[in-house]
Amino acid sequence: MAQPNAIHAALSLVDSTLDLQVAFKSVPQPATASLRGLLATSGSSCHSFAFDAANSMWFAHGDGTVAALGEDWESVVSKCSLGRLKPVLLIYQIHASNY
């Protein structure tokens, strides 16, 4: 089982914005992507976290419930750490105006 401090340490290193020209050499023009979601697991259950840009709020989905977590990534990091939820997939959105 994943340790809360290891989960917290790993998720704290996640960048909320990526410069795609730095991440991928083949991107022909400047472009950025913003963190918008996370998929995590705990045993046989799956949890998802999504950022609602219209409300500037992170939401947690899992176990048949939806809960507002807060405006910052740290609220997701804390929820995953306390629940021992192992991150599986990060989801970024490319800014349409930049690419």
- Predicted local distance difference test score (pLDDT) of residue 90: 97
Instruction: Give CA–CA dist 26/14, Å, rounded.
Output: 22
Nearest to residue 39, comparing CAs of 93, 70, 1, 76? 76
| Range(s) of the domain holding residue 18 | 4-98
pLDDT at 46: 94
Q: What is the pLDDT of residue 66?
A: 95
CA distance 18 to 25: 13
The pLDDT, as a whole number, for residue 23 is: 84
pLDDT at res. 73: 97
Q: Which residues of 81-92 are buried (b: 16+ CB within 10 A; e: fewer)?
A: bebbbbbeeeeb
User: Structurally, how many domains does the chain consist of?
Assistant: 1
Provide the pLDDT for residue 1. Answer: 61
Residues of the chain with pLDDT under 50: 99
For residue 21, the model assigns a pLDDT of 84
User: Residue 27: what pLDDT?
Assistant: 77
Query: Is the CB of residue 17 less than 8 Å from the CB of residue 73?
Result: no
H/E segment holding residue 90: strand 86-94
pTM of the model as a whole = 0.86
